[in-house]
Amino acid sequence: MLSKTKRLLFEKQAEIAKAIAHPLRIAIVDFLKDGEQCVCDIAEHIGAERSNVSRHLSVMVNAGLLGFRKKGLKVIYKLKTPCIVDFFSCVSDVLKQQVRDNEKLLKAL
Amino acid sequence: MLSKTKRLLFEKQAEIAKAIAHPLRIAIVDFLKDGEQCVCDIAEHIGAERSNVSRHLSVMVNAGLLGFRKKGLKVIYKLKTPCIVDFFSCVSDVLKQQVRDNEKLLKAL
DNA sequence: TTAGTATATGAGCATATAATCACATAGTAA
DNA sequence: TTACTATGTGATTATATGCTCATATACTAA
């Protein structure tokens, strides 16, 4: 059986994973990997409402994925833990495997 | 603005991330990293109902994270893409950073 | 055949998440 | 001061997710 500590760890990890698990948030991370950006530019880049983007950003800040600083009127967000980007190389592996599986299926027809 | 292709890619990636983003599913992945297991043993190990575990497993199979084979009455699940485990090393980095941030806060009191 | 075991799944309910709109706040600039 | 801009947030609604119970399916063994 799982220990209490392990249970707690898995819950923390799930919180972080959840904070990544949304298409717009992934788009934001992908945009921020090239450098920090303000809310308005992020919103324009991913094509979503500012209020919506603002909420997604705060989800990721709360999860510890992003940091921010204020500069005049603007709030500028940046990736806090660059390894998040590595996560997507694994996700890509999963996607590639899916494609291979589909090819197998096709050939079997 | 984002291309249609990028949008689609981010959605696929989000699906995969979502499939990981649950404490019980993370516990399952953690259990399976040491080798394939049947539903009943997984359920016992993580301390959850079989029907519930069965659902979580099918979520991960659909996402392409797990594969399975049938052996008599049992269905045996295994990790399909071992790099999923690496994902957690990044998550751990985020958690460690959170701890460091909290320590900073404490010292500032 | 019957009984038993492992797994999967439909229905129902509770909760969580996401998007939108309207409004509030905070800084800038005239 | 007023007007403007960037951001954040409360309220609402729609949708998604997760859990439980009951039931269905499939295999085993007597």
Q: Which range (A13-22, A81-90, B97-106) has the least confidence?
A: A81-90
**Partner-chain residue, chosen from A10, A64, A81, that has the shortest CB–CB distance to B27:** A10
Report residue A86 as tokens: 């590595």
Mean pLDDT of all residues in chain A?
A: 93
pLDDT band for B89, please (50, 70, 90 cuts). Answer: confident
Tens digits of residue pLDDT in A11-43 = 999 999 999 999 999 999 999 999 999 999 999
Residue numbers of the domain that contains A61:
4-81
In the structure, how far is the CA atom of residue B47 from the C1' atom of nucleotide C3, in angstroms? 27
**Partner-chain residue, chosen from B2, B22, B25, that has the shortest CB–CB distance to A47:** B2
Report the nearest residue to nucleotide D16, CA vs C1'. Answer: B18
Residue A18: give its domain's CATH number: 1.10.10.10
**Partner-chain residue, chosen from B1, B84, B92, that has the shortest CB–CB distance to A90:** B84
The answer to whether residue A92 is domain-embedded is no
The answer to whether residue B87 is domain-embedded is no
Is residue A84 predicted with pLDDT exceeding 90? Answer: no
In the structure, how far is the CA atom of residue B22 from the C1' atom of nucleotide C7, in angstroms? 21
Select from B90, B92, B105 the residue whose CB has the most chain A CBs within 10 Å, as the one to mutate to test that interface.
Answer: B90
Question: Of A63, A52, A99, whose CA–CA distance to B64 is shortest?
Answer: A99
Estimate to the nearest angstrom the gap between the alpha carbon of B8 and the chain centroid. 22
- Contact status of B63 with chain A (Cβ, < 8 Å): yes
At residue A70, the pLDDT reads 98
The answer to whether residue A104 is domain-embedded is no
The answer to whether residue A44 is domain-embedded is yes
Helix segments in A21-108, DSSP class H:
23-32, 39-46, 50-62, 84-107
The answer to whether residue A99 is domain-embedded is no
- Contact status of B1 with chain A (Cβ, < 8 Å): yes
Query: What's the 3-state SS for B1-38?
Result: CCCHHHHHHHHHHHHHHHHHCCHHHHHHHHHHCCCCEE
At residue A87, the pLDDT reads 79
Report the nearest residue to nucleotide D18, CA vs C1'. Answer: B52
The answer to whether residue B109 is domain-embedded is no
At residue B83, the pLDDT reads 82
* A70 neighbors A76 (Cβ within 8 angstroms): yes
Whose tokens are 């799930």? That residue is A14
* A66 neighbors A79 (Cβ within 8 angstroms): yes
Pairing between strand A74-79 and B37-38?
A: unpaired
The average pLDDT across B69-98 equals 88
Could you report the predicted ipTM of this complex, rounded to two decimals?
Answer: 0.92
The answer to whether residue A73 is domain-embedded is yes
Q: Is the CB of A68 under 7 A from strand D?
A: yes
Is residue B85 predicted with pLDDT exceeding 90? Answer: no
At residue B80, the pLDDT reads 93
The answer to whether residue A55 is domain-embedded is yes
The count of structural domains within chain B is: 1
Measure the CA–CA gap between A68 and A36, rounded to whole angstroms: 9
